[in-house]
Amino acid sequence: MRILAGLILSVVALRAAYALAWLMAGLGVRFDLMPNGVITGFLASLFMAAETWVIIAWTIYVLGYCAAAVLALRRDRRAPLVYCGAFTVDMMVWIYTATANVYGLALEGWVVPIDTFFNVLDISLLIGLFWLRLSGRLR
């Protein structure tokens, strides 16, 4: 069980790092701090076209994932609740940007499978974090 707990905590940390890397790259493109071509296609267009509140919500969910990772690695029992909050904001941003087609952007072929993978991963991590909390492995 210790190996499974360590795996769950490691994946939570990797998920936070992945989300943070994309956010930083996207903000770099939006504020013209990154060279052209670092992010292209749908994601670059989304960061350039999104309203400020979408970028703020995006930043909030990424910071939530990072906070949940720090709490999880410290074995804090609040980690699943923080992760759940971040995932909720993540889903609201995803639904708004991907299904409402508010920016007139066409989803690229890779967007839906990748987003679906991460949504399933997030739900799995939530289950894992709540299992760790209920089993007493988070204090």
Residue 99 or residue 122, greater confidence: 122
Closest CA to 8 of 123, 90, 139: 123
Burial of residue 109 (CB within 10 Å: 0-12, 13-18, 19+) is exposed
Q: What does the pLDDT look like over 47-100, one tens digit per residue?
A: 888 889 999 999 999 999 999 999 999 999 999 999 999 999 999 998 888 776
Question: Are 96 and 54 a contacting pair, CB within 8 Å?
Answer: yes
Predicted model pTM = 0.88
